[in-house]
A and B are shown apart, each in its own frame.
Chain A
Amino acid sequence: MKVALIGFGNLGKGLTRVLLEKGDYLKEKSGVFLEVTAAVDSGGAIIDEEGINIKDLLEAGQREGSIAEHIDGGEIGTTALDVIERVNSDLVVELTPTSIKDGEPGLTHIKKSMELGKHVVTANKGPLVVGFQELEKLSKEAGVEFRYSATVGGAMPIFGLAKGQMSGDSISEIQGVLNGTTNYILTRMAEEGAPFDVVLNEAQELGIAEEDPTLDIDGVDTAAKITILTNSLLDRNVKLDDVKIEGISRIGPKVTKLAQETGNEVKLVGIANSHTLEVSPKLVPSNNPLAVKGSLNSVTLKTDLAKEITITGFGAGPRETSSALLGDIVNVYKSVEV
């Protein structure tokens, strides 16, 4: 299967590294043979219809500037849309930076890919937050696979679980701790009694929190994820604006202590059901499976048959997210081959 990598930041590089590492494993175990025919970043593209040497691509990615500058035949100035339109590929993996305001440029990339009959795998929340139902419809009309496991909860296979093994269940409620940065901050305040700012700095130094952590701390990132989960698993058509959002900026170690004294933890929880769509700090009993520590994520699905299922895993990191991307890619491969 020919694959075009759109976007070559941390996730693109992380996926490429895993493809290099696990190429033989995938061939032997799942019979999957992947050829990367194009990779593009904001400065240009590398294109080879016979398959790019993954090792060279990874090396180019380690250097300053665009990958196009560091490989013979690299096309400086070639854009993602050029690649999608021009290069022969069965699958487009969309990994450009997220904008939850307008979903661009990912939204345009995904739509164009579908219109051209290409399958799409993405880790980009933006396009799904802005246009989930539109993209679902478009993929059905175009008869292409559209998979987005990596958009919510990193390595946690929440969509695979809900839409695969639990297909027979009707989901009535989703509860999730969906943001590693805020969960890390809350956990460290509870454990160490350290002030918010100190713990935030620590998270930034460890690379858990971004330089500008506003979207995480204000609960917007969690809201984006609960929006995607609601549209995908509860079959609704909600927008980010529909989510009532309260972040964790007012919470300090005194608050987490008051909670712990009664056997509770403070967690930033996204909740979606027929009458609630919100993100807010909640008191979660310490023995509740959602009371995960550190940068872990956790989601509980309430359903008619299984009653309650909770999965927990690492919600971020290029390697962890590669697990979700690779799972999606293999599933596209299998659905196309059959």
Chain B
Amino acid sequence: MRARIEMELEDTPGQLLKILEPISRHGANIKNIVHQREELTPLGKVPVTVIIDVKEDHLKEIVEEIKDIGARITRVGEEEAALRAVVLLVGDIIETGIKDSIERLNSVEGAKVADLNLSIGESGEEPSARVILWAIDQERLQSAISKLKEIASEKNLLVIEPMR
């Protein structure tokens, strides 16, 4: 399975290395690490997200051992991506080929459409949609958003992007 472990580490040297040790010892394959040094928690801890491919029974042991090291685990779950972005579209999403749009987005390597919510407008309002994009890292997420903008421009759809 692919798992996502979110935790908070002390902002001192060597902490990241310590938590990686049990992960590699249990034979898990690290797919991505997001180490948000610039976004300290109110208590001055560093939020870290690790995405790993791991056998299900090993995950529990890894989590326990990371706790023993002193890291605070904030969330553990099955996950396919490290990052997500919400983007809204306004315009003729269905008429202009929704299947084609999704397929082209999914063709971006390391990114995919995780969720799509359609809203059919009333009384003159154009149809709109909320797209949730998943990507394994920031670069791929940006590629997916760029691809979405390219498709939207072709199909005369308005893109409402998240603020950076």
Contact = CB atoms under 8 A, between A and B. Distances in A.
Interface string B63-93: 0000000000000000000000011101100
B97 interface: no
Interface string A251-292: 111110111011010100100000000001111110010100
Interface string B108-152: 000000000101111111101110100000000000000000000
Given A255-B160, A283-B86, A250 B91 contact: yes
A96 interface: no
B158 interface: yes
A262 B130 contact: yes
A115 interface: no
B130 A261 contact: yes
B103 interface: no
Contacts of B119: 254-255, 257-258
A117 interface: no
Contacts of B124: 195
Q: What interface size band does chain B fall in?
A: 20 to 34
Contacts of B14: none
A282 B161 contact: yes
A259 B163 contact: no
Contact of A255 (B88, B122, B132, B163): B88
A30 B78 CA distance: 64
A266 B125 contact: no
Nearest to A302: B164
A281 B128 CA distance: 14
B128 A255 contact: yes
Q: What interface size band does chain A fall in?
A: 20 to 34
A254 B162 contact: no
Secondary structure of the B contact surface, majority rule: strand
A246 B163 contact: no
A16 interface: no
A105 to B, nearest CB: 37
Which of B87, B158, B160 has the most CB atoms of chain A within a 10 A radius of its CB?
B160
A258 B128 contact: yes
Contacts of A258: 88, 117, 119, 128-130
B9 to A, nearest CB: 22
A261 B91 CA distance: 19
A226 to B, nearest CB: 15
Contact of A195 (B120, B125, B132, B158): B125
Contacts of B158: 246, 250-251, 281
A227 interface: no
B121 A252 contact: yes
Nearest to B87: A283
B164 to A, nearest CB: 9
A252 B129 CA distance: 12
Contacts of A255: 88, 90, 119, 128, 160
A175 interface: yes
A100 B86 CA distance: 35
Contact of A283 (B88, B90, B117, B122): B88
Contact of B160 (A252, A253, A266): A266
A258 B88 CA distance: 8
A288 B130 contact: no
Nearest to A269: B163
Contact of A259 (B88, B120, B121, B126): B88
19 contacts: A195-B125, A196-B125, A246-B158, A251-B90, A252-B121, A252-B128, A254-B121, A255-B88, A258-B119, A258-B130, A259-B88, A259-B160, A264-B86, A266-B160, A282-B163, A283-B88, A283-B160, A283-B162, A285-B163
Given A259-B160, A280-B160, 10 more contacts: A196-B125, A250-B90, A252-B121, A255-B88, A258-B88, A259-B86, A282-B160, A283-B86, A283-B160, A290-B163
Interface of A: 175, 195-196, 246, 250-255, 257-259, 261-262, 264, 266, 269, 280-285, 288, 290
